[in-house]
Amino acid sequence: MVKAPEAGRVKTRLARVIGTAAALRFYRSATAAISHRVSRDARWTTRLAIAPERALAHPVWPARLSRRGQGLGDLGQRMQRVVDELPPGPVVIVGSDIPGITPSLIARAFRELGRADIVIGPAPDGGYWLVGFKRMPAKPRIFDNVRWSHAETLADTLRNTNRLRVATIDVLDDVDEADDLRSVAGWSGRIVLPPAISIPICDSASYLRVTDKTGRT
């Protein structure tokens, strides 16, 4: 699930602290890194579900990846549309602002769907970064009456699972606030943060050290 990388439309809470330009750079970097990392694995097909639909042709999206619009509605309605309309087989949905996503975690989620109806990757803030469905024999509806971007988002969702078998995998941080940036050191991607923020960022090709105003790393 991705949003068009436009100033003022993505990472708005983060932007209030580090600025709109820096928040946009983070979102562009995170989306590019995650989509590249996950789509290289041939064990699944990676598709971008994009909002708004007018952004389907945005040049930022990798040309080799299949794209579809998310459609209208709240996050639950848009994710349900993905669950309902994709070709047959298990499906795993992830966000685009979770730097810790790796192919091994996606593979684990698909393995869990071998024994469970639903798999969830929780987030520390009460939400979740991944949700997956076996979609056999039916396509469950677990997103109704969920309070999104809320401390009870996961709890609301789990209440909708009824007697379905639910598996969980690793807890990962998403990045909504400036403090979240400090908890995701080691992700693949780059961002230059304002002087007041300090976080090490590294990938296999580079290591960037950001210093604060006093010169401390």
User: Are 187 and 177 contacting, i.e. CB atoms less than 8 angstroms apart?
Assistant: no
Strands 118-122 vs 166-168: parallel, antiparallel or unpaired: parallel
Q: What share of the chain in percent tops pLDDT 70?
A: 81
Specify the pLDDT at position 200. 30
Quick: pLDDT tens for 160-202: 999 999 999 999 988 776 666 665 544 434 433 333 333 232 2
Q: What value does the mean pLDDT of the chain take?
A: 83
Q: By C-alpha distance, which of 170, 174, 53 is closest to 108? A: 170
Q: By C-alpha distance, which of 1, 2, 5, 99 is closest to 59? A: 5
Q: What fold characterizes domain 2-208?
A: Spore Coat Polysaccharide Biosynthesis Protein SpsA; Chain A (3.90.550)
Quick: pLDDT tens for 47-62: 999 999 999 999 889 8
3-class DSSP state for residue 177?
Answer: coil
Quick: pLDDT tens for 82-111: 999 999 999 999 998 888 999 999 999 999
Q: For the chain, which residues make up each domain, given as ranges?
A: 2-208
Residue matched to tokens 């709240």: 74
Which is more confidently placed, 118 or 33?
A: 118
Cis peptide before 122 (omega within 30 of 0): no
Specify the pLDDT at position 55. 93
Lookup: tokens for 95: 């966000």
